[in-house]
Amino acid sequence: MIDRGAGLPLVLVPGIQGRWEWMLPAVDALAARCRVISGSLPGDSGSIADTDPAFGFERYTDWLDALLDRAGVHGPVSLCGVSYGGWIALHYAACRPERVRTLTLVSTPSPAWQPGCRVERYLAAPRLMAPVFALGSCFRLCPELAAAFPSPGARIPFIASHLWRITRYPAAPTCMAERARHADRFDFAADCARIAAPTQVVTGEPRLDRVVDVASTREYLRAIPGARYDRLDRTGHMGLVTRPERFAEVVTQFVRLHAGRPAAVRVPA
pLDDT tens for 152-188 read 999 999 999 999 999 999 988 888 888 888 888 789 9
Q: Please say if the pLDDT value at position 266 is more than 60.
A: no
Q: Is residue 267 part of a domain?
A: no
Q: How high does pLDDT run on average in the chain?
A: 89
Q: Which domain holds residue 143?
A: 2-257
Angle at 17 between CA 92 and CA 37, to 5 degrees: 50
- Count the Cβ atoms, other than its own, within 10 Å of residue 180: 18
Stretch among 27-41, 46-60, 91-105 having the lowest mean pLDDT: 46-60
Q: By C-alpha distance, which of 220, 248, 243 is closest to 89?
A: 220
More confident residue, 225 or 133: 225
Cα–Cα–Cα angle for 137, 40, 123, rounded to 5 degrees? 45
Question: Is 263 a domain residue?
Answer: no
| Domains in the chain, number | 1
Is 205 inside a domain boundary? yes
CATH code where residue 214 lies: 3.40.50.1820
Q: What is the mean pLDDT of residues 11-37?
A: 97
Q: Measured in whole angstroms, how far is the alpha carbon of residue 152 from the centre of its chain?
A: 28
pLDDT average, residue stretch 126-153: 74
Q: Is residue 269, in this structure, part of any structural domain at all? A: no
Q: What is residue 86's three-state secondary structure?
A: helix
Q: SS in 3 state form for 152-175? A: HHHHHHHHHHHHHHHHHCCCCHHH
Tell me, what's the pLDDT at 46? 83
Structural contact between residues 246 and 238, judged by C-beta atoms closer than 8 angstroms: no
Q: Is residue 268 part of a domain?
A: no
In angstroms, rounded to a whole number, what is the distance separating the alpha carbons of residues 23 and 71?
19
User: Which amino acid is located at 193 in the chain?
Assistant: A
Q: Where are the alpha helices (DSSP H) in 169-242?
A: 173-184, 188-192, 214-217, 219-223, 239-242
Considering the domain boundaries, does residue 262 fall inside one? Answer: no
Q: How many CB atoms lie within 10 A of CB 216?
A: 17
pLDDT at 173: 85
Q: Residue 74: is its pLDDT beyond 80?
A: yes
Of the candidates 224, 229, 156, which has an alpha carbon nearest to the alpha carbon of residue 190?
224
Instruction: In whole angstroms, give the CA distance from residue 107 to residue 113.
Output: 13
Q: What pLDDT does residue 185 have?
A: 75
Q: At what angle do helices 59-71 and 84-95 cross, to 10 degrees?
A: 80
Percentage of the chain lying above the pLDDT 70 cut:
86
